[in-house]
Chains A and B, each alone.
Chain A
């Protein structure tokens, strides 16, 4: 009935693409513009009225902090410096997790013996929150940094903030999502594709390189995306714990101790934005690497 009515009025049934562009999508448009502005305005007005900036600072003060990312905050450094430290720690921990996790996942996925030997261990360690490793890591690595590994006591660069303990914990954060997804990806390769490759003359090694790996690639990239997101969660929590002396999580907890709620909120915004950016970059890389995903 509805359909008939619409046809009579000469309205073509819009496909998804048209829907997105049509004015019918006004809720989404308002959601991105008017709603945030209203919220910020409400925040600003109530904060100015309340006059308790140590508890509820006005937007303007938070924005002011964000506009001065190089300002030194007491002994804890600037927003930019601390964000860079956190990001660098995450990238190194994540890279290590990928370098170990992907090959191990591929190996476990293709060699039954290795999978049998390692899988129980993985299942036991995986549910353990990576943060739980921190006390152990600090006890083992003390406050040793990456330059000290190479015999340099103080490099007087950002590298002095790369404590081995932090990287160890980040490693565990990224390792399991990467390992488990890679394993699933390699084990989930459709047998038909392997048979097809075989009849077309591929050797076992060629099947592995030209069929297993590309077929598992979407899952490997999913693992990387989950891994880097977990690392970013983990680093913030780890930096908020005792034993840390830098990083955006450290700045956040330090500013909270000083009742500098504007810096706390500015840090929160940065954490959110960096997390979203990391996710966006990974998604973009995935999109161009596996345009065929889900379209078999």
Chain B
């Protein structure tokens, strides 16, 4: 569905969700409501972080945005030129690269699907691999790469198809703190350079404040938006300044009931 702009022709919205609800059958057969009337808007070029407790339907929401799931009710509206399964790739936490392909051929995957000539797609991929700092590993298989390198590769794989909107589902969730910080910085640099729109899911509060222009806080299941927080800190952000801590505390408080039950 295309986003109709007659109401607000001046805004450039990349993605808008209106009253999106989704239920699914759990393995035990009971009906679980993952999302309950979620509405949110992502502006073009914005870096939006979704945060919430585990199992609050963040992933479901991302899958709906990617067109991998259909919502039970509500609307998914996409900005001009955005098409699901075309320029809205998703970087997952696990299984981000195809294990039977080398890094180079993983990055060229999307271009191969678009029948781009081998020579051209290899050139594009090599440039992107260099950009994410993996030069020299073009011929390596995913199992030969470390967790952090795999996520770098996954980002290159997503960027290869020239995304308009990049969806990221806890992409750094399985990494150690040091690698995570490196990759956060790399992603921010790439984002600032290319001005793509990013919708980034995490359950790490620190990461949310480091990354997001805007942080959207989700409640426990069924997922609902309980707070939208504008983060007006200058970049690069590191977690030692007073302003940073202030935002962090604010976010902690809004999540309080979920992070520390009983508080």
Contact = CB atoms under 8 A, between A and B. Distances in A.
A201 interface: yes
A203 interface: yes
Contact of A200 (B63, B100, B143, B157): B157
B94 A200 contact: no
Nearest to A195: B68
Interface in A195-219: 195-203, 206, 210-211, 214-215, 217
A140 interface: no
A97 B99 CA distance: 28
Question: Could you tell me the dominant secondary structure of chain B's interface residues?
Answer: loop
A193 interface: yes
Nearest to A291: B141
A196 B90 contact: yes
A260 B110 CA distance: 66
B98 A201 contact: no
Interface stretch (B81-89, B196-204, B239-247, B252-260): B81-89
B112 interface: yes
B100 A290 contact: yes
Interface string B123-164: 000000000000000000111000000000000011001000
A192 B66 CA distance: 13
Given A211-B98, A215-B100, A290-B100, A199 B85 contact: yes
A198 B95 contact: no
B2 interface: no
- Of A211, A217, A292, chain B has the most CB atoms within 10 Å of the CB of A292
B100 A199 contact: no
A198 B158 CA distance: 12
A50 B142 CA distance: 62
Contacts of B1: none
- Chain B contact patch, size range: 20 to 34
B95 A210 contact: no
B99 A201 contact: no
B166 to A, nearest CB: 10
A295 interface: yes
Nearest to B157: A200
A16 interface: no
B36 to A, nearest CB: 24
A71 interface: no
B95 A190 contact: yes
Contacts of A201: 85-86, 110, 113-114, 161
A296 interface: yes
A203 B94 CA distance: 22
B155 to A, nearest CB: 13
Contacts of B67: 198-199
A199 B82 CA distance: 12
A214 B112 CA distance: 15
Contacts of B99: 292, 295-296
Contacts of B141: 291-292, 295
B241 to A, nearest CB: 36
B113 A202 contact: yes
Nearest to B90: A199
B96 A196 contact: yes
A216 to B, nearest CB: 10
Interface string B62-90: 01001110000000000000000110111
B22 to A, nearest CB: 16
Given A198-B85, A199-B85, A200-B161, A214 B100 contact: yes
Interface string A22-59: 00000000000000000000000000000000000000
Contacts of A214: 98, 100-101
A192 B142 CA distance: 15
Nearest to B84: A199
17 contacts: A193-B95, A193-B98, A195-B92, A198-B68, A199-B66, A199-B67, A201-B85, A201-B86, A201-B110, A202-B109, A206-B113, A210-B112, A210-B113, A291-B141, A295-B99, A296-B142, A296-B143
